[in-house]
Amino acid sequence: MDKARDVKMKYWTILTLIILTTSCLNKMSMQRIPYTKELKKVNYSDIHFNSISLSQLPGPYYKDYSHHKNATARNYKSYDTMGFRDTLLEKLAHHLGDSVLKLFFLTPKAQGLPYKGFAYVSNKHIVPMHFEDGGNFALWMDIIFKKQYERLAEYKENGQFKKQPELNPDPQFMLILGKGQFSQKWVNSGMLIDERPYENMGAYLYKNAPQQYNEVKITKEKQRYIQKYSNTSGADLDAGSLKKTFAEYIGQRNLKPNPPKNNQSVFKEFESLANYTFPKELKVLFELHGGIENTGFLTAEEIVQEWKNWKIIYNDPNWMLADLTGNNHPDGRKTIGIYTNPYWVPFYSTGGGNFIAIDYAPGSKGTSGQIIAFGEDETRIRLIADNMLDFLEQLKQDDEVLRNGFDK
């Protein structure tokens, strides 16, 4: 059986290589390039460019500042290049029948020639395209590359190319577009900051693929990081003490909690998604309430929904580990500096997308089940309390516990 399987695998491997080789030899039969390691071997001359019509693109228009409070700002004129980007990506997605994750194209080598573009689509294929140099598309390109062309003209006027004959006086420019991405680069100018896609086009396309194409690698990198800290053992708290302290908090604040309800289906949903038990201390508290008006306490359903919302961000391949950890800092060594992760269970909202959570991924000096603050505005993951009982004891006194860690 193993030999038969090996023979079949070799057959399919050879067949795949034949198809790719034939495509390259026939050149222009390749309309979509699969994102595989074989891509690195593809030369520029092997690529067939599909002609794309952009006749329905809107002409250049200004950003809408009419909502601005300042009168001067309301009258400010600035072309909406980001709006153009979104429209272009949307129209290409419709034309190609697949969402465009990233698009870059090159200005023509000479007047009258088309722009050459490459669209990375969500099914891990790259679509080479020709954009005709005309119509509204050309008007937008003139606006977008205006500064580059002006700088090139300055270099020619001041004799820069005579001083540095190794530079190319007729370079191309590149525009790179994507969700949250808009950048221009010089191409084959001879400068150090140059992009040089023609030297090995296949390798260039492979190297510059969008992050989503390496989703498995990105996911594994996050998993390796968070597994060093994940600890779902939790705090071993006495249920009676939790109920007593929580009841005292309710009484001192004159709160009227909604009646408790059966949350078993909610707990099961969470546990099936998280692969660990819904926090025991929260289960105890939900025996006493089904939501508390005029407080930040979330219902069981809200907890699971918020947890899912943050998990979507964590799992999104657009958020690499470096992005998640780049702008957030630990509270000493008690917490870890990361924007979010699936081992934080938000149970209390402080507003504006910020939450108090039970922490099952503590820092090296922290403990499982400690209470932390995280969210949109929490650049430092603050330690709030050692555990839920400690949190409730402090919350009985006043809301100052919610600000713990700000003074450090």
Percent of the residues in the chain that have a pLDDT greater than 70, as a whole number: 91
Residue 73's pLDDT band, with cuts at 50, 70 and 90, is low
The closest of 347, 358, 359 to 299, measured between CA atoms, is 347
Burial 12-30 (b: 16+ CB within 10 A, else e): eeeeeeeebeebbeeeeeb
Beta-sheet pairing, 115-121 with 125-131: antiparallel
Alpha carbons 26 and 20: distance in angstroms, whole number: 10
Report helix, strand or coil for 397.
Answer: helix
Percent of the residues in the chain that have a pLDDT greater than 90, as a whole number: 76
Q: Which two tokens stand for residue 97?
A: 């029948």
**Tens digits of residue pLDDT in 322-362:** 889 999 999 999 999 999 999 999 999 999 999 999 999 99
Angle between helices 135-144 and 146-157 (to 10 degrees): 60
Task: Give the count of beta carbons closer than 10 Å to the beta carbon of residue 59.
Answer: 10
Task: Give the count of beta carbons closer than 10 Å to the beta carbon of residue 401.
Answer: 18
**Tens digits of residue pLDDT in 148-183:** 999 999 999 999 999 999 999 999 999 999 988 899
**Tens digits of residue pLDDT in 19-60:** 344 333 333 333 899 999 999 999 999 999 998 887 789 999
Q: Which residues, including other chains, have CB under 8 Å from residue 179's CB and lie 6 or more apart?
A: 89, 101, 318
**Tens digits of residue pLDDT in 107-155:** 998 888 999 999 999 999 999 999 887 889 999 999 999 999 999 999 9
Average pLDDT, integer, range 274-294: 96
One-letter amino acid for residue 321 of the chain: L
Domains in the chain, start-ordered, CATH in brackets? 31-209 (no CATH), 217-403 (3.40.1580.10)
**Is this model's pTM higher than 0.85 or not?**
no
Report helix, strand or coil for 346.
Answer: strand
